[in-house]
Amino acid sequence: MVQVPTGRGIPDDVLETLANCGPTSAAAYLNKSCMEVIERSYAWQEKGWISIKPMLELLGEFGEPHKSIRTTGEPQLPSEAFGEFPSGLAFIQFTGSGGKYSGWKAWAQAYSHTHWVAYDCGLVYDFNIRHKDGTPGDWIPEKDWVRDIVPILIPRNGTGHYVRNILIPKI
């Protein structure tokens, strides 16, 4: 069993709030409940998903201003994307999921194949991981996330993945 990183949490209200990857990852990262996150996430309330800008606004709502860094767009582990930064949120893009559209439809199609995870010093929080009590969401070592969770997500979303953006604290 993995210890939850200091200052992070495991939201216990994932099922009752019907939260998906955005609110659950933010809740785990901020050590809040999903309900607390959802109450402050107007994007999730309106659309049922959170893109990068609304996630940055959400973090700011909790007094945790962050900035987004776009990565190189190559397949990489969260640890590779974060590099010298110890923690934050990672916005994963799944690839090979079509491409029959252009313009705003292509943008919408790409966004429908994304996923949020929280990252802290080699550990990944993903709501697709089952906690020992059976509820959705837990922290596991990155190597276990890549081995056990990513293969489940790729068939649903494409043929590969990369960390598209990382959200790190503003210093």
Q: How far apart are CA 28 and CA 135, in angstroms?
A: 14
Domains: count for the chain: 1
CATH number at residue 145: 3.90.70
Question: In this structure, is residue 157 part of a structural domain?
Answer: yes
With cut-offs at 50, 70 and 90, classify the pLDDT of residue 153.
Answer: confident
3-state secondary structure of 35: helix
Q: Give rounded-to-5 percent helix, strand, coil for the chain.
A: 40, 25, 35
Between 104 and 136, whose confidence is greater? Answer: 136
Question: In this structure, is residue 93 part of a structural domain?
Answer: yes
Question: In this structure, is residue 6 part of a structural domain?
Answer: no
φ, ψ of residue 127 to 5 degrees: the values are: -75, -5
Cβ within 8 Å of residue 46, ≥6 positions away: none
Q: Which residues pair with 2 in a beta bridge?
A: none
Query: Which region holds residue 99: left if phi is over 0, alpha if psi is between -120 and 50, else beta?
Result: left
Question: In this structure, is residue 143 part of a structural domain?
Answer: yes
Closest CA to 77 of 96, 90, 65: 90
Question: In this structure, is residue 8 part of a structural domain?
Answer: no
Summarised one tens digit per residue, pLDDT across range 126-136 is 999 998 888 89
Q: Is the pTM of this model over 0.85?
A: yes
For residue 106, what pLDDT is reported? 41
- Which residue range(s) make up the domain with 132? 14-169
Question: In this structure, is residue 117 part of a structural domain?
Answer: yes
Cβ within 8 Å of residue 132, ≥6 positions away: 1, 138
Question: In this structure, is residue 102 part of a structural domain?
Answer: yes
**To 5 degrees, how large is the angle CA 40–CA 42–CA 89?**
70
**To 5 degrees, how large is the angle CA 163–CA 96–CA 68?**
25
Model confidence at 96: pLDDT above 70:
no
Take residue 146 and report the two structure tokens written for it. 């890549």
Question: In this structure, is residue 2 part of a structural domain?
Answer: no
